[in-house]
Amino acid sequence: MKDTMNQTNNTTTIEQHHDHLEKTHHSSRKTGTITILLIFGLFGLWSVFADLEMTITAQGKVITKSYNKIVMHPLGGIIKEIYIQEGDQVKKDQALLELDSIGYQSQLDSNIKKHDNNLFSLCKMRSQSTLKQPLDCTEYQKSIIDANRLNKLMKNTNTLFISDMKSLEAKINLLKSQNKVLDAVNNGLTKQIESNQRLTSIRDSLSFLITSMSLIL
């Protein structure tokens, strides 16, 4: 009997606790709903009575601070001086750095030297092809770029021209000697051929006479 009364009391206590929790939960949910409605109500009132002059709609692109634009030089080179620092904002056509011009100047000097050398080589070869002496490169001097090298180029080209002409003259003389030898050989062959032709003619004549006498006898 005593145990039954204890269980009844425990059951009653649990039910009371459960009812209390439901009431608390219902009260909290009601409070939250009221709070949300108040917030939206206040926002609605503000949007109705607030003074808004205009609304602007625009498109844009969001770029983070870590965005890096790689700037490259088409030819490359050695950097002489840098005019900006990391993080600086730059404008169009603003100089960022300066490249050392030593490499470009060396290449330019080399090309000018080749150009002028080729001019005088062309002059020398054309004179050699016509066996024209002395060497005259007046026509090509007008196109030379580095006038400071004119005298040196003329001297070196003339020296090579004289040397090449001597070599050509030696080859020409050798060819002339070979032509004389061939002419002498051909003259000897011509005489030998004429002699052979005469002997052949005489032999044919003798054979005819011998044949004729045999028929007579």
Q: What is the pLDDT of residues 144-174, one digit of tens each?
A: 999 999 999 999 999 999 999 999 889 999 9
State how far the Cα of 191 lies from the Cα of 199, in Å rounded to an integer.
12
Residue 194 carries which side chain, given as an amino acid letter? E
| 208 has pLDDT over 80 | no
Which position has the higher pLDDT, 29 or 183? 183
Tell me the average pLDDT across 9-20. 57
Look-up: residue for tokens 């001086």? 81
- pTM of the predicted model over 0.75: no
Q: How confident is the model at residue 115 (pLDDT cuts 50, 70, 90)?
A: very high
Tell me the average pLDDT across 73-88. 78
| 216 has pLDDT over 80 | no
Q: How confident is the model at residue 18 (pLDDT cuts 50, 70, 90)?
A: low
pLDDT the model gives residue 2:
39
| 1 has pLDDT over 60 | no
pLDDT the model gives residue 39:
81
Which position has the higher pLDDT, 25 or 3? 25
pLDDT the model gives residue 6:
47
